Amino acid sequence: MNQRFVQVDPAVRLWSEERGDPRNSTLLLIMGAGASGLGWPEELVDALAARHRVIRYDHRDTGRSSLSFDTHPYRVVDLASDAIAVLDAYEVERAHVVGLSLGGMLTQLLIADHPERLLSATVMGAGALSSTPLSHPDGSRTPVDRLPSIDARVLELWSRPHEDRGLEGELDHRVEHWRLLNGDQIPFDPEEFRALERRVIEHAGRYEAPMVHGRADHSGMDRTDELARTEVPTLVTSAPAEPVFPPPHPDHLAQVIAGARLVEIPGMGHALPRAVHAPLAAAVLAHTRAVDARVRPGAAS
C-alpha cells in the first residue's frame, strides 16, 4: 500500500493511495460529495485489489487534500479533472473507474469528456447527467423532473445548520446520516459506521467537515448527447433501498448511457455496509474481467 500527494495546481494538492499488483489493470475509486477516499471500506477495497491495482484519493476539501474552496472556488466539473490528474500522476493511460454518488456523476463526466482514459465505468447511487426521459415498457415516458426525489428524512438532515458538535457529537451525527443512507432493507450496524468515521477523522486529522461541494458551481454538467453515443463499457448498479436516487433512477441511468448494463445489488441503499461488499465486488469484478479479457487477452484468468 503506497500513498502520495498529487499536485493539481499551486492551490490544490490531493492525497492518494494505491494497493494491489501494479501489473494488473488499474481501478480508480471516486467517492461522493464531502467524502474522502477512506469512505471506501477497507474490505471492499481489498476485494477489488485482489484483481486490480486500486487507486483511491481524497477530493479537494476532504481528508488530507487541500482545503481550497473558500480561497479558490471551483466547479464540480473541476473535480472530474482531478480524477484525470490522479491517473496522470500514477502514469495510468486507461483505467476502470468506479464512482459512488457525486463520484458517479464525475464518472459520467469522464465517460463523456475523457472516454480515451477509461477501460470501463461503474456508476452507483447517482442521477443521470441527461435530459432524456425515462422510457417504460408500456411506451410511456417520464420526464427527468418527474423522477422520484430524495427521501424527505435525508433532506431534513442535510438542512440542519452546520455546527461544531465536538468529536463524539460529530460521530453521532455521521452515524445517523449513514443510518438514513443505508435504507431500510439491510440491518444497520451503527458501530460499523462509527468505526469507519473514526478512521476518516483520524486520517484527516480533524473532525470538522467543510462540506463545500454543495456550494460548488454545478453548471455545465449535462452530457445527454455524449452519454448516448459513448462506447465506454458501463455498469450501473441498482440499489432497491436507495434513498437519494431511488428506483427507477438506475433504470434511467442505464438507458441514457449507450450499451450500459444494469445489475441489482440486493438490499443496497446509498451506503456500503458489509452485507453489500461481496455482491458489489463480484458485480464490479465480473464487469472489469470481461473488459480486460477483450483489451488484454489472458487477463481474465
CA distance 95 to 240: 28
Q: Could you read off the pLDDT of 74-131 as tens digits, one per residue?
A: 999 999 999 999 999 999 999 999 999 999 999 999 999 999 999 999 999 999 999 9
Return the DSSP state at 146.
Answer: G
Residue 295 pLDDT:
83
DSSP annotation string for 180-233: HHH-SSSPP-HHHHHHHHHHHHHHHT-S-----GGGSB--S---HHHHHT--S-
State the architecture of 2-295 in CATH terms.
3-Layer(aba) Sandwich (3.40)
The parts of the chain modelled with pLDDT lower than 70 are: 297-301
Contact criterion met (CB below 8 Å) for 74 and 60: yes
Residue 301 pLDDT:
44
CA distance 179 to 156: 14
pTM of the model: 0.96
Residue 105 pLDDT:
98
End-to-end CA distance of the chain: 24
What are the structural domain ranges in the chain? 2-295
